[in-house]
Structure 1
């Protein structure tokens, strides 16, 4: 009950609500908030500190200043409380007047949205500019050939992969997942996609029979990841490519709620388990903004051409 009371007290201050309404519209500095709200620096900074401490906003450096914005990953109840208060108070004359002053200030300053987000565009929302749309677009340039998705689950990714593959074999050890995946394939009418129920450590595939093997956040579910990656290498044809998207080593027990058998993997482990392959590339992504801030690592590798007896 104290958490609810804290949220209500935090959002019960009119100045803090004015600040939040403005930040919901535009990430702003203390100086910009001062100009719009006509309040002193110490007052604004004090309210920002309380909102930041509560986890509802965060700030990022911009030159010698700091720009404040609403946290998309704020704690659920707090974010929900703010959403409710925002919707109830949106039409209040005071908040409407603040928004009008902000728009006028930005117009007078002559800065466009593009100019204001230069250097931080990757953190900003823009209509249509989502990771989903970018992935769909970039995948049109991909070619997976004879593809195998290990730990495919219920086929959430097949709509992205199948159009760019000659064939797609989805492998999963769960009977329920395979049944759901087959139903999805039937609904979508994807003739090039098939499902096989099998563990990643024992792929029912002939040697050198595929052009690409994918582990898309599935390796952490496999009992013996080293063996599964060895199986992938065996099944790849010369020149075939391996793609592993998984979690970097972590200490968060929360992952076990999702059935993970492993708390991520180190880069050294992933390279060691795929040492029979070549041309390794490793990319680590920034930690997730949502607690406990898991971090993803991506590894790609290529199977070299088989050496002839004479070359040996």
Structure 2
């Protein structure tokens, strides 16, 4: 897409202000809420919101509500990203250093709170997760989505208690589970051993940088992980990178909901994801999305029944399909 002269001037005018340049630099790292940017920039929320509106109106950034909060990210439009990249490349290397140090502090606080939560709840993880959705329904649907196998290699990112590995491990020649919580990994090891699986490797690892070879797994699972993350799109891109030709990525998470208390009580950052959002990320990562499977509430009398779980899946074209395309 090309821009008219007026559109070009509007975009440059929107970016051409010190605070708005700082905002673009911050959003180049990850999506952020108004509250987070206000803290990092040390400016009032109304003032930051005015800058964000100008950047949004120009098409340089995107605004998306998530429950009671609003988040912002760089535009997905190619022209906007090229313009932003050019502007940021021209900035001095030390420009925005203080902002990014403050952003690192915000990230560290988030990570510490999440780590503390997961270490605390690890012994009761499966029970807590079942408060929100029927695990038996999810597991039955998962078997239908992934098929009978066999799989050469299964990778479970954010494996938690290892439940996904115990479900599909018998269909796999070998499996790998990654998690940042050592307590969770210990529980996963016990569960995997109890299930009689001996070809499972459990590693301390980061979903954003797995250090696993690209296109090396024919099944990659991301189960109830994305809603904890500051940059779910980046995590999904890393998961997609691991999918081998002919392989499949399966993402299981909540559909959009309004339970704000989950942010404070259970460290949820995002209140679910839409089909369009997940499918868009899958396409950007080079995969072909398949039809999502929604598991709606079973019982309107309980909190857990008011949350819908969706299973999204996508495939990477096989080598034969690539050659004939």
Tell me the C-alpha RMSD between the 2 structures.
3.1
Task: Report the Cα offset of residue 207 of structure 1.
Answer: 1.0
1:283 aligns with 2:293: yes
Does structure 1 retain, via aligned residues, the 8 Å contact 2:282–2:289?
no
**Structure 1 partner of 2:276:** 268
1:237 aligned onto 2:244: yes
Q: 1:226: Cα distance to partner? A: 0.6
Correspondence for 1:200: 207
Contact 1:212 1:240 in 2 (8 A): yes
| CA shift for structure 1 position 140 | 8.4
TM-superposition CA deviations, 1:111-151 (whole Å, max 9, x none): xxxxxxxxxxxxxxxxxxx7599679868834343101111
TM-score, normalised on structure 1?
0.52
3-state SS of paired residue (1:163):
helix
CA distance in structure 2 between the partners assigned to 1:308 and 1:135 by the alignment: 27
What residue in structure 2 maps to residue 149 of structure 1?
A: 156
**Pair 255,144 (structure 1): closer, same or farther in 2 beyond 3 Å:** farther
In the TM superposition, structure 1's runs of 4+ consecutive aligned residues that sit over 6 Å from their partners are 135-140, 307-312
- Structure 1 or 2: more helix by fraction: 2
**Residues 1:142 and 1:131: Cα distance change in structure 2 (over 3 Å):** farther
Residue 189 of structure 2 corresponds to 182
Deviation of 1:222 (Å):
2.8
Give the alignment of 1:299-310 within 5 angstroms: 299-305=312-318
TM-score by structure 2 length? 0.50
Deviation of 1:252 after TM superposition, in Å, equals 0.7
Secondary structure of residue in 1 paired with 2:253: strand
Secondary structure of 1:243's counterpart equals strand
Q: Is the 8 A contact 2:180 2:205 kept in 1?
A: yes
User: Residue 17 of structure 2 corresponds to which residue in structure 1?
Assistant: none
Q: Which runs of 5+ in 1 are unaligned?
A: 1-129
Counterpart residue number, 2:233: 226
How big is the shift at 1:280?
A: 2.1
TM-superposed deviation, 1:158: 2.7
Q: 1:195 to 1:237 in 2, by over 3 A?
A: same
CA distance in 2, matches of 1:180, 1:206: 26
Q: Are the aligned partners of 1:201 and 1:225 in contact in 2 as well (CA < 8 Å)? A: no
Aligned residue pairs total 183
Q: Assess if the C-alpha contact under 8 Å between 1:200 and 1:222 holds in 2.
A: no
